A and B are shown apart, each in its own frame.
Chain A
Amino acid sequence: MTVENTITVVLADDHQVVRQGLKALLEAEPDLKVVGEAGDGLQAIRWVELLSPRILVLDLMMPGLNGLDVVRQLKKGVPHTQVVILSMYANEAYVLEALSNGASAYVLKDSSSADLVHAVREAAAGRRYLSPPLSDRAIEVYQEKARAATLDRYETLTARERAVLHLAAEGHTNAEVATRLGISARTAETHRSNLMHKLDLHTQAELIRYALRRGIVQMED
């Protein structure tokens, strides 16, 4: 095995016991060499900039700059180094965040040691790797779930506000709305302005258009 084929690794984890374990585990492989060890995020960045290793094995949870911060920083300055994230959390949100910030692999701490070695080699080869049960598919599912704008603001209206919206869209004045609902004109007015605020409507015309679009009222023929 030539030196050129050797994959250089910097280890970053705030627990020395863990670092020792990881080092023993990686150095048991002939093609892997641990060239530096860091106990926190800043040190990790310094070692990486200094040694330009092929791989940074990075604990996600560290005091001070955490793993995610470190990845973000490194991707600016040291694109050559691939980052393998080591994490307790089999959580797609973390994986997504790590990958989108430039990490190559995401390895769970309770997966097998073979898994980590595999991840390091994959990352060194320029491929992406996720520990099972994580998968690209699971991440897509998560992204779908987390997508915004799934909120229908109409749902946030109270029952009273919905009633007022309905009547107001039919062209009733606040006073008329008030009599119909048995409330004071002032309260009707408050409901109306609250609901317009919630739905981001500013004029009576907008209110009617909204009600028509939502099928709250029908066009009169």
Chain B
Amino acid sequence: MQNDKWKTEYPLPENLTELSSQAFELAAAQATLENLASVFFPTSLANGRNPLFDTQKSQEQSELDLPGVEAIYRTLVEQIPAVVFMAVLDKGIGEAYVSPQIEELLGFSQAEWLNDPVRWYHQIHPDDKDRWSGDAARLFLSGDSLRSVYRVMARDGHAVSFHCEAKMVRRDDGRPWFIHGVAFDISDLKRAEEAQQKSEEMLRGLFEFAPDTIVVVNQQGKIARANTQVETMFGYTRTELIGETIETLLPERFRGRHIDDRSTYIAEPHTRPMGAGLKLYGRRKNGSEFPVDIMLSPMKWDDGGMVIAVIRDITRRSQAEESLSDYADRLKFLSRRLMEVQETERRNIARELHDEIGQALTGLKLTLEMGARLPADGARASLEQAQVLVNELMARARRLSLDLRPAMLDDLGLVPTLLWHIEHYTAQTRVRVHFRHSGLETRRFSAEVETAAYRIVQEALTNVARHARVVEATVRLWTHEALLSIQVEDCGSGFDSEAALASSDTSGLAGMRERAVLLGGQLTVESAPGDGTRLTAELSIADSPVANSGEILREEQPG
């Protein structure tokens, strides 16, 4: 490098000996430039000559005894990308040199610097002045070379950082002769350093305050660094973890395998999520486990390759996913059941139409045909028989339609329909039902709410008849604020309601719950084996529109 070349090609005068002058010691004790200057530049000789490059070749030059250096060094000195300076110590304040590059850097011309030999001192950044004074004192006293960075103010007021290297040269008799040195503009370097520092701070911030645990692991699988998150997430302090193997953070059953996987990864490191498709778990200090996501990336570190592992606690996400998939399962089950139920219902209707109504119609047809062939008085008997058949047919058709869906629910609402249903239920099952209600005598709700309420009572009563082994049950309906509550109670055999609701073998309870939930409500089942059953469904009727056009018409009527 040119700089280094300059150093070697600029041989220092020989016979540098220790400086022992009283004056220097005194000056050093006070260590200010002014003091030093008064020592070094005692007289203002201001002859304007430069001891190195004096072109006048005066007599004094021979006195300086600098044999022919001028020609050799001038070009060099004026071309290197640095400022070369020199001050003669025994010639007074005027004997100084500074290379012309100074102008470009600080805005003062070479002449300005030469004319004012202490300008440079004034231009040193105020905060750096004391340090400079101390350094200079050491230079003068011990003869050690000076090597330091100072900020110097340019003409326009901005600071330029210089890295200075200076040496003192003595005469043969030991008297300080001159100092010379070189100053490099390192402002760019400085700025880069600052920027680097900032980015390092930012990185450290990112590292420390990331919401995830970040662990840096070395080639041997030992934890080299970890951020604070590791403490909250895993319950270890950082000091406990540094130096431990990364497997410390894994459940024991995964550790063996992980050591193998780790070596594979080190052999061919690349950025990737860990254990793609696998469920990963972290292990806290207290032994508890939690689901995690891990991202790995290789990194160059001081002493070889490292691996950064970013560990995220996904407990919440897993729970959400689980409940979502639970819900999806339930939905799948219910829709399958729904299709089955629909199919069964269709089969029943088909059978009913074929067996019951079809047979009756055939009978009717035959009776009428026979009647047509008979003489008038004989035909009468046939017609009467046909009439009986027709009445039967009508009753069947009516029952079939009601079983599918009572039109009454739309026409008249919940209370009449439930009364009708209960009457039939009791007739069929011999289970007496006490029906109590309040707040809905003439009130209508949306079709969804009325249907749900009706189906819930129907299903619950069917369960009572099928499972409870009782002769009595109570149905209660009431409204309170924005809720319609439906309660079906029996004092029968009871059952393990938690287990029944969780099981997916049946659809009755699950269907009731789904209906309630769909309408912004819930289903509560209080039951225990031998302890009867009380089932309560709550449906939201907050914005329940009226059920049918009839109601709207009725509302239009005045009074």
Contact = CB atoms under 8 A, between A and B. Distances in A.
Contacts of A152: 436
A76 B412 CA distance: 20
A148 interface: yes
B437 interface: yes
User: Can you list the 9 inter-chain pairs with the closest CB atoms, starting with the nearest?
Assistant: A93-B416, A148-B441, A151-B436, A151-B438, A110-B394, A110-B391, A149-B438, A88-B398, A69-B550
A198 B480 CA distance: 7
Given A93-B412, A155-B474, 8 more contacts: A72-B553, A72-B554, A72-B557, A93-B420, A148-B438, A156-B485, A156-B536, A200-B480
A149 B417 CA distance: 17
A109 B408 contact: no
Interface string A148-169: 1111110110110000000000
Nearest to A66: B411
Contacts of A20: none
Interface of A: 61, 65-66, 68-69, 72-73, 76, 88-89, 91, 93-94, 97, 109-110, 142, 145-153, 155-156, 158-159, 197-198, 200
Contact of A158 (B438, B480, B526): B526
B441 A147 contact: yes
Contact of A151 (B407, B416, B477): B477
B487 A148 contact: no
B411 A153 contact: no
Nearest to B558: A76
A91 B553 contact: no
Contact of A148 (B440, B476, B550): B440
B376 interface: no
B398 A89 contact: yes
A148 B419 contact: no
Contacts of A200: 480
A97 B549 CA distance: 15
Given A155-B476, A156-B476, A76 B557 contact: yes
A61 B478 contact: no
Nearest to B441: A148
A109 B549 CA distance: 25
Given A91-B416, A93-B412, A110-B391, A156 B441 contact: no
B415 interface: yes
A88 B419 CA distance: 18
Contacts of A153: 438, 478
Given A91-B416, A156-B476, A150 B436 contact: yes
Nearest to B440: A148
A119 B490 CA distance: 45
Contacts of A142: 419
Contacts of A148: 415, 437-441
Contacts of A158: 526, 534
B480 A94 contact: no
Nearest to A97: B412
Contacts of B437: 148, 150-151
B408 A93 contact: yes
A146 B553 contact: no
A95 to B, nearest CB: 10
A68 B550 CA distance: 7
B419 A146 contact: yes
Contacts of B411: 66, 68, 94, 97
Interface in B423-452: 435-441
B71 interface: no
A152 B536 CA distance: 15
Nearest to A75: B557
Contacts of B487: 156
Contact of B438 (A69, A150, A159): A150
A68 B413 CA distance: 13
Contacts of A145: 419, 435
A99 B63 CA distance: 142
A68 B553 CA distance: 10
Interface in B487-504: 487
B412 A69 contact: no
A102 to B, nearest CB: 11
